[in-house]
Structure 1
Amino acid sequence: MITNILNDKPTKLFIAIAAFFVANALIAECIGGKIFSFEKLVGLHPSNFTIFGQSGLAFNLTCGVLLWPLEFIITDVVNEFYGPKAVRRISYIAVGLISYAFLMFYAAIQVPGADFWFGSSKSSGIDDMQIAFSGIFGQGMWIIVGSLTAFLVSQFVDVYIFHKIKKVTGDKWVWLRSTGSTVVSQLVDSFVVLFIAFKIGKGWSWQLVLAICLVNYIYKFTMAIVLTPLIYLIERRITKYFGEEVAHQMKMAAMGKGNN
């Protein structure tokens, strides 16, 4: 029985997808503390524009946004072949393990450091390793709560819209249900995390929250469009891996039209 389970192609792929989904989400959370200039990344001078009366804005984004678009692609792929229950399952697993990771980060910060360790990297320009370590892994509680809440809510929004569109389009127009669900869920994700982390947590004005939300969403919306062909590539590879018949049966079951 165990051998059959381990050799089952849909099972093997689901385990691999779930592992990558969780790892990608955790890495995105860990690197999210660094803010980078998107304009500089693509060789442009930082812009200076105004939105909602908030001036001095530019495309300064957290490094986490480099990875989050992959989460929504994976969500759509799992939706397509395994259905909404599978998406909810891997989402809960991701949130549980990310929460566990943050607890371990907090515990590691509180553990007393060895005397020699504090100044062990002065030659690299780091005067106090404890401060550096805490600065990297010690994200504020409101940011953690906001990030995890936004992740869960946006995942469920993505699932809902994806299947609403799929009921109308059937097996056609993958780009519409994938891109459509992503652009809406990314807007929800951008707003919820900023609202909880910075409106509630730090008392930012609505003007600033909405302006930064729009800047982040422009990037995420653009990436959703740019990465659409990747959905087709992944779907074709999975269909080839499963075989046409198995892939079709899984898609029907994912829509609630077959045996789950």
Structure 2
Amino acid sequence: MPAAPARRSYRYYDLVMAAFVCVLLCANLIGVSKVTTVGGFSFSAGNLFFPLSYLFGDILTEVYGYARSRRVVWAGFGALAFAALMSAIVVHLPPAPGWTGQAVIEAAFGSTWRIALASLLGYWCGEFVNSFTLARMKVLTRGRWLWTRTIGSTLVGEAADTMIFYPLAFYGVWDNDLLLAVMGANYCIKVGWEVLATPVTYRIVSRLKRAEQEDYFDDKTDFNPFTLKV
């Protein structure tokens, strides 16, 4: 019986995964409900850093392929789900007599079930759309014009995330005009981040490809999002 082929090991894959999950958790726990206004634009403060997760997602798919990126998306989903569960439990535990920090905890981590669910669904759909789009564009362009893939996939992925998260989380809570303004501003900020980060993305992708001796093309990949098979 022939031996199974050895699975490739990578030096930096786990580190990129850890960075992705760290950015994702911080962006969703810190500032997601705070709306700020800068230069006439109103946007959710957490979205100053959330686009970094898409940058990491682009790097993962470009270097390691869709299947390995899929595992990272699910790792992030599990981390977000656990953070939402832990936050709900901690917030709703009865405070000790005389302890005065309950209002602070509720303000910082007291997301409603709507926000938690919207965040999970928006993230899941947006990241998979982003990864799938980049992987297919890479095959179609035969690896040329990286900027078209990173920006193009972000345009589609962030649109899916924005269109799912904000209406589910804040429709009927925020004024409709504010909701639309925040959605539009946040989408522009996210895509703008990706455009500005393109030179950095090029450098990281180039160095990772050389270090890992990998430049994966998803010619025969199963794009089913509901599997962890590599």
Q: Distance in 2 between matches of 1:174 and 1:145?
A: 33
Displacement of 1:228 in angstroms is 1.1
Please, which of 40, 52, 74 is the counterpart of residue 70 of structure 1? 52
Give the corresponding residue for 1:115.
97
Percent identical among aligned pairs is: 26
Q: Distance in 2 between matches of 1:37 and 1:111?
A: 34
Q: Aligned AA for 2:22?
A: A
TM-score normalised over the length of structure 1? 0.75
Give the corresponding residue for 1:153.
125
> Aligned ranges for residues 78-227 of structure 1 at < 5 Å?
78-118=60-100, 129-199=101-171, 202=173, 205=176, 208-227=178-197
Q: Distance in 2 between matches of 1:68 and 1:170?
A: 29
Q: Is the CA contact 1:183–1:224 (under 8 Å) kept in the aligned structure 2? A: no
Q: Aligned AA for 1:247?
A: E
Q: Give 5+ residue unaligned stretches, structure 2.
A: 1-5, 222-229
Q: Distance in 1 between matches of 2:209 and 2:157?
A: 26
Q: Is the CA contact 1:33–1:136 (under 8 Å) kept in the aligned structure 2? A: no
Give the corresponding residue for 1:43.
none
Give the corresponding residue for 1:240.
210
Q: Distance in 2 between matches of 1:175 and 1:187?
A: 18
Q: Aligned AA for 2:125?
A: V
TM-score normalised over the length of structure 2? 0.84
Q: Give 5+ residue unaligned stretches, structure 1.
A: 40-46, 48-58, 119-128
Q: Considering only aligned residues, what root-mean-square deviation do their CA atoms show, in Å? A: 2.3
Displacement of 1:17 in angstroms is 1.3
Displacement of 1:26 in angstroms is 0.7
Q: Distance in 1 between matches of 2:111 and 2:46?
A: 13
Q: Distance in 1 between matches of 2:167 and 2:33?
A: 17
Displacement of 1:114 in angstroms is 2.8
Displacement of 1:149 in angstroms is 0.6
Q: Is the CA contact 2:27–2:50 (under 8 Å) kept in the aligned structure 1? A: yes
Distance 1:135 1:203, change over 3 A: closer
Q: Is the CA contact 2:44–2:186 (under 8 Å) kept in the aligned structure 1? A: no
Q: Secondary structure at the match of 2:57?
A: helix
**80-89 vs 132-141, greater mean Cα deviation:** 80-89
Displacement of 1:164 in angstroms is 2.4
**172-181 vs 154-163, greater mean Cα deviation:** 154-163
Q: Is the CA contact 2:43–2:183 (under 8 Å) kept in the aligned structure 1? A: no
Q: Distance in 2 between matches of 1:218 and 1:135?
A: 27
Q: Is the CA contact 2:27–2:49 (under 8 Å) kept in the aligned structure 1? A: yes
State how many pairs are aligned: 216
Point out which structure has higher relative CO (alpha carbons under 8 A, 6+ apart). 2
Deviation beyond 3 Å, 4+ runs, structure 1? 201-205, 207-211, 254-257
Q: Deviation per CA, 1:184-235: give whole Å up to 9, x if none.
A: 2112211111121122x64854x55434321221222221211111110101
Q: Secondary structure at the match of 1:247?
A: coil
Give the structure with higher Rg (CA): 1
Displacement of 1:9 in angstroms is 5.6
Q: Is the CA contact 2:59–2:201 (under 8 Å) kept in the aligned structure 1? A: yes
Q: Distance in 1 between matches of 2:188 and 2:63?
A: 29
Displacement of 1:116 in angstroms is 3.7
Displacement of 1:66 in angstroms is 1.7
Q: Deviation per CA, 1:59-109: give whole Å up to 9, x if none.
A: 222222122111111111111122112222111111112111111111111
Check if 1:15 corresponds to 2:14: yes
User: Which structure has the highest helix share of the two?
Assistant: 1
Q: Deviation per CA, 1:124-183: give whole Å up to 9, x if none.
A: xxxxx1111111101111111111111111111112221222122112111111111111
